[in-house]
Structure 1
Amino acid sequence: MTAATENTGSADRRATADRALRLKALYEAPEITRVVNVWDAVSARVVASLPQTTAIATAGHSIAASFGYEDGGMPLELALAGARTVAEAVDLPVTADLDDGYDDPAETIRRAIGFGVVGANVEDRLRPLHESVARVSAIIGAAEAEGVPFQLNARTDAFVLGSDRPLEERIEDAVTRGRAYLDAGAALVFVPAVLNREVTERLVEGIGWGKISVIGLPGALRASEYQELGVARISYGPLPQRAALLALRDLATDLYGDGAVPADLPALN
């Protein structure tokens, strides 16, 4: 390795660390961090062009769908390639959806950091608690070895995969797992579900103010309401892609009809 190459690598790593600190500051701010999920370079650039955008989040479900895979069934190399495409398209902190971290979550995160990703969602899939905590610890250890204050949004599937259990049991499990993940170094705890006010209050009380991440879904609270309850981050998963595809379907329907291109179709720079 030449001195110039080494210096370039060091500069890239410092830039990555700086973006990680920017994401950390967003998560720790009083205002809820809103991330509109993207799935490729052009969707990332469109969202990044908005003045309100402070960070970019990938949607693993949407990247998988783009290549014909079911959510959670995308190969590791494709997941990393999708995250890299987004990270290289924008100059903002990028947090990636990396499913469950795959076979070696530490190596997955190390590789993601290598192309500028500074945060990630990683699912527990309701593995035994000690296994899930060990995977979180491995991720944080790998990031520390790379010199990057990586912002792990540790996802618990206590609601998603435990929907057949009583609500009390799901809340208790989410709190237990969430506390353990924070203790292991995670920045936030992601509890995906349609969370009403009462359940959100109990999760925040159990896990911590400013330590919860939620998803915006039909029937969920508004972002401002979650902010009032102490939620740190809200994302929207595959919904942005679904909205884009619905717009495409509607346009195609019109074009198959009278065939006229809408006069108000906007241009994207």
Structure 2
Amino acid sequence: MQHTYVLTLSCQDRSGIVHAVSGFLLERGGNIEEAAQYNDHATGLFFLRIQFTCNQVTEEDLRLGLKLFAEPFAMLWSLHPLAAPMKTVIFVSKDGHCLNDLMFRWKSGLLRLDIRAIVSNHREFYQLAAGYNVPFHHIPMTAATKAQGEAKQLEIIRNEGAELVVLARYMQILSNDLCRELSGKAINIHHSFLPSFKGAKPYYQAHDRGVKLIGATAHYVTADLDEGPIIEQDVARVDHTDGVEDLTALGRDTESQVLARAVKWHSEHRVLVNGHKTVVFK
């Protein structure tokens, strides 16, 4: 039986990296099915994603071999069995369009996820969760209960073994501690084409400025509000006849599509963080 894996890595660029990685896989009976690389000339970093099959050695042997192989290159690397869906927890507040979209795509087989729980500071979507047979956790959030609430959230994430947390219009600011805990594995959808119109009510801000384009941004969560590495963005054209309601409706569609693409690429291990930016191997 062939086992398929995804190997991602980054290191300082030097000649012979691709040759060395290919040779490492060949020695273990690996067959490369898909490969993409990027040389960042500004930073001197090299990024590589390889999808390969291998049945001559175990995953454990691959990991042990990669650990030794990567040391001379000072590589940051990760290995993932492609068949394993990514365990995911979704956070949501009162706007459910992104949540609905993700759940439908997941059940339709369009996202390689294992959605383990939905967490919300409101009760609105407990029936939606029940319809998909996904546990729903209502954790109210106030300034006085934020620390206890986040402790419960983190307990759920750890108990479910979540590799990804999706903030599907979760309208609470995560603490710095929780942001650090979720570094590199929490994706937020911002209902604005960042860096424009940060904070609350961006469609009102956009309408007030008479914009001709509105958009959405999916990015990794960091302690710097709405400034994490951007994964995906998109825009839609509007004009002077569109009111705030029109912008909001069009924006919701854009948000859902942008978030779904970002989640898909992350779950397929196509996104590598490059400082304040990302490398996305589509």
The answer, yes or no, to whether TM exceeds 0.5 is no
Higher fraction of helix: 1
With the length of structure 1 as denominator, give the TM-score of the two structures: 0.30
Higher fraction of strand: 2
With the length of structure 2 as denominator, give the TM-score of the two structures: 0.29
> Quick check: which has more Rg, 1 or 2?
2
Q: Which has the higher contact order (CA 8 A, sep 6+)?
A: 1
